[in-house]
Every structure is written in C-alpha cells, then in structure tokens.
Amino acid sequence: MQSASSLLKSKFPSVALNKRWIIYCPFDFKSFVGYNEIEAYLTALGARVIGCTKEQRKIQSLRIGDGPVCVLEAGVHAREWASPMAALYVVDKLVNKPIPGLTWIIVPLLNPDGYEYSRKSMSTRFWKKNMNNTKSRWCQGVDINRNFRIGWGDLAGCSKNPCMDTFCGLGPWSEVESISMKSLLVEERDVRVYISVHSCLQAIMYPPAHSTEKAIDLEELETVAKEMSNSIKSRCGREYQVGQSSVIDKIASGTSIDWARQELGIKYCFNLALPGPDVGYLLPEDEIEKVGKELHEAVNAVSLIAINFSNSDKPEYVDITKDT
C-alpha cells in the first residue's frame, strides 16, 4: 500500500512535507475530496492520530497555534459532506495565519468510515452513522453523536434499534470515534470553546440538546452564538439562526456538546449546522468555499471571546466509568 507521504508527494509535488512554514493546500474547495486526500494532507501538516476506526482509517487532529484551546470537530455524520470540507477550509486558513494567543485543535473528519461509505454510490449517499457492527444481523452503524455519556440511551433523543439512523450503540463510549474525541478533550487543560460542525440547518445552537430545559447561563451562550452569527452575516451575507439545540433541532441524547459542557465544564459548546435547507445534504460543489468562509468567520468571532475568557472555574474531570 502506498504511504500517505508518497501519495501526497505524487499528487501534490509542491508540498514540503512536515515543514509547516511552507504551506500549500492541495484542495481548491471546488469539489468534495475523499478520505485518502484528507488523510495525506493532514499527515503532511503533522496531524496526530487520535483513533483508528473499524475499517482501519485514521481519526486525525491538527493543533494550530499556541495558547488556550478551542476545539472544532467535523464530519461526525457521514452524509453531511459540507462539514469536513468547511473544516478543511478553516485548517487551510489557520495554518497560514494562526490566531495569536490561541490554539485551535481541529478534527476535520471524525467518521471516516461512514464518510467513505456515503461516497460509494447514490444508494449509500445518505448514510449517517459509522460502520461498526451491532447486535443486528441486518443493520450496522452507530450514530456517534448519540454515543457520548450524557443522557445516553434516553429514547426521547435517540433509538436503541440498530436499524435506525439515531442508534446510540450498545453502551456509552462503545464507539472508537466517541472515545477518541473524549480522550482528546480530557487531555486538554484549558478548553474554552467546543464546536461540532454539522449541516444543513443554517443554525448555531447551544446546549442542552437532550432536554428543553434552559441553561443557567443561557444569555451568555446566546450572546456568543449571536456574535458568530452576526459576524457571518456582516462578512458573508447569510443569516444563521441562533438558539437552543433541542428547540431549533430535535431533542438529541448522548451528544458531544452536552457531554463536553456538563462533564468537562466547557462553557461554550455549540452545534454549528452549515447551510443547505434548500438542497439538504447535497450541497452543490460551488458552495463549498462559501460555507468554508462562513465557518472561518464563526471561528474568528468566537476566538476573540475565547482569548478573553477564563475557564478556571471548571471542575476537574473524573472518569467514573474507568475501572479501578
């Protein structure tokens, strides 16, 4: 099998491997790219492997900048192709111009197995889950964003039927993808923002996702979400709706943003759903750059808030599921 670096060299000869001061993006953001291209690009930039999937693909994270941490996770839902492409657009922008005083950790493709399956044919195009086995002979795949241990298995916001798109898995943390995100977040000392990128609601949503109860600091969450939305509107023209995740979208249990906020104490957690209400998940390729710019605007806007915010009150994380 061709190595990632030789693949990259053959495809993108002008990339200076592992020399981050010579940055070249192999994507023109005018077409959707596959796992191999994404993996090669991230490897060349020095990405870390945070997990290995059932089908032996890498889950990669890239650390850009220096200072307190913000985390951007994308591609959790396979069919939402706009999400990993927009995250790669942000990677391209930040490696060329990091945000002073802040680290962004970006996981552009959390569900590479599902993503590749959704690229196989039109009949698999709307696949959402990963490709893990379940107890069912007929149905496979777990919705990774129902597998985090927060309200896990609450049937108001997921399904325990392996044939459903919202199947939550056989237990919390049963999936390598959710465990990988958990490990990445737990390792970091000062995470100020966590954004999970989806499509296609054109909305910036804050927790909780698993209940319609209001967050005690709702006003602050709303203010930060509006900062992002206003910044996108003023620079890109499109208006993103702002609100509570369980209200704008459906109730969802076992999500990453609820877990990161409730168990890790990360104050500013958001589901950011890129546009596409009119075309659904089938974002036209000539819209990729546009949604990338919008996500980059949101990242810039929330960065200004993150730099000036101290998360020092957050509780120490204790993993109560760990064997002692």
Could you tell me which stretch among 160-168, 196-204, 215-223, 242-250 binds Zn ion (CB under 5 A)? 196-204
What is the smallest separation between the CB atom of 135 and Zn ion, expressed in angstroms?
24
Q: How far apart are CA 288 and CA 284, in angstroms?
A: 7
Rg (CA), the chain: 18
Could you tell me which stretch among 36-44, 69-77, 132-140, 179-187 binds Zn ion (CB under 5 A)? 69-77
Q: How far apart are CA 109 and CA 74, in angstroms?
A: 6
Strands 268-274 and 48-52: unpaired
Q: Tell me the C-alpha to C-alpha distance, in Å, between residue 69 and each of 94, 117, 304, 306.
A: 14, 32, 12, 8
Question: Which residue type sits at 317?
Answer: Y
Among 129, 146, 198, 296, binds Zn ion (CB under 5 A): 198
Could you tell me which stretch among 35-43, 198-206, 231-239, 249-257 binds Zn ion (CB under 5 A)? 198-206
What is the smallest separation between the CB atom of 208 and Zn ion, expressed in angstroms?
17
- Dihedral sign, Cα of residue 125, residue 126, residue 129, residue 132: negative
Could you tell me which stretch among 31-39, 45-53, 61-69, 191-199 binds Zn ion (CB under 5 A)? 191-199
What is the smallest separation between the CB atom of 216 and Zn ion, expressed in angstroms?
26
Among 57, 77, 290, 293, binds Zn ion (CB under 5 A): 77
Query: Residue 8 or residue 74: which is nearer to Zn ion going by CB?
Result: 74
Assess 149 for contact with Zn ion (CB under 5 A): no
Angle at which helices 218-236 and 288-307 pack, to 10 degrees?
140
What is the smallest separation between the CB atom of 198 and Zn ion, expressed in angstroms?
3
Q: How far apart are CA 244 and CA 203, in angstroms?
A: 10
Query: Residue 8 or residue 106: which is nearer to Zn ion going by CB?
Result: 106
Question: Which residue type sits at 215?
Answer: A
Query: Residue 15 or residue 251: which is nearer to Zn ion going by CB?
Result: 251
Could you tell me which stretch among 59-67, 73-81, 89-97, 277-285 binds Zn ion (CB under 5 A)? 73-81
Query: Residue 145 or residue 303: which is nearer to Zn ion going by CB?
Result: 145
Cis peptide before 26 (omega within 30 of 0): no
Q: How far apart are CA 26 and CA 7, in angstroms?
A: 12
Query: Residue 192 or residue 198: which is nearer to Zn ion going by CB?
Result: 198
What is the smallest separation between the CB atom of 77 and Zn ion, expressed in angstroms?
3
Q: How far apart are CA 266 and CA 258, in angstroms?
A: 10
What is the smallest separation between the CB atom of 79 and Zn ion, expressed in angstroms?
8
What is the smallest separation between the CB atom of 298 and Zn ion, expressed in angstroms?
16
Q: Residue 322 in contact with residue 149, Cβ under 8 Å? A: no
Q: Residue 229 in contact with residue 239, Cβ under 8 Å? A: yes
What is the smallest separation between the CB atom of 273 and Zn ion, expressed in angstroms?
7
Could you tell me which stretch among 8-16, 108-116, 193-201, 216-224 binds Zn ion (CB under 5 A)? 193-201
Q: How far apart are CA 298 and CA 229, in angstroms?
A: 7
Q: How far apart are CA 288 and CA 208, in angstroms?
A: 29
Binding footprint of Zn ion on the chain (CB under 5 A): 77, 198
